[in-house]
């Protein structure tokens, strides 16, 4: 169906090819009020308080995540589980007596090692420098 305006009124037009639909009129124009009133009735039923939950469930089932989105969701959930596990271990360490200063020192050391691994896995081009003449990739 196509929207069209005729004599300052909105209509929906159904253009057909006579050879594909024998017996169908060449064009049918429906005043906008006809399909809009039917859609309004359907929406009123679908969104009524007693049907709202079922409608929402049906829409959610039909509009679920794509496979790519499912993969991203699974990766985020796995990362979140890892973070929760690490936070639980950190809380246990603090409860067992680890001081915040000791943790900060261990964290700086860990992050330094992680940066070193990162620069070794992606060596910088030779001859380029960073900052005050320090060669890229030096570490």
Model-wide pTM > 0.85: no
The reported pLDDT for the residue numbered 136 is: 44
The reported pLDDT for the residue numbered 98 is: 86
Q: Per-residue confidence at 100, pLDDT binned at 50, 70, 90?
A: confident
Q: Per-residue confidence at 128, pLDDT binned at 50, 70, 90?
A: very low
> How many Cα atoms sit within 13 Å of 123 on the Cβ side?
3
The reported pLDDT for the residue numbered 119 is: 57
Residue found under tokens 């860990």 = 110
Is residue 97's pLDDT more than 80?
yes
Q: Is 11 in contact with 31 (CB distance < 8 Å)?
A: yes
Is residue 36's pLDDT more than 70?
yes
pLDDT, greater one: 66 or 135? 66
Residues 6+ apart with CB under 8 A from 120: 139
The reported pLDDT for the residue numbered 123 is: 55
CA distance 139 to 119: 8
Q: Is 136 in contact with 129 (CB distance < 8 Å)?
A: yes
pLDDT in tens, 47-96: 898 999 999 888 888 887 888 999 999 999 999 999 999 899 888 888 88
> How does DSSP classify residue 9?
E
């Amino acid at each position: 169906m196509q929207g069209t305006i005729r004599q300052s009124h909105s209509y929906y037009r159904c253009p057909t090819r006579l050879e594909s639909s024998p017996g169908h009129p060449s064009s049918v124009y429906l005043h906008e009020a006809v399909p809009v009133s039917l859609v309004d009735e359907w929406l009123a039923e679908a969104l009524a308080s007693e049907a709202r939950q079922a409608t929402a469930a049906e829409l959610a089932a039909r509009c679920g995540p794509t496979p790519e989105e499912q993969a991203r969701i699974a990766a985020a959930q796995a990362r979140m589980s890892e973070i929760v596990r690490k936070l639980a271990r950190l809380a246990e360490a603090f409860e067992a007596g680890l001081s915040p200063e000791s943790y900060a020192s261990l964290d700086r050391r860990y992050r330094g090692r992680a940066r070193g691994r990162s620069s070794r896995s992606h060596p910088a081009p030779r001859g380029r420098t960073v900052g005050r003449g320090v060669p890229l990739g030096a570490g």
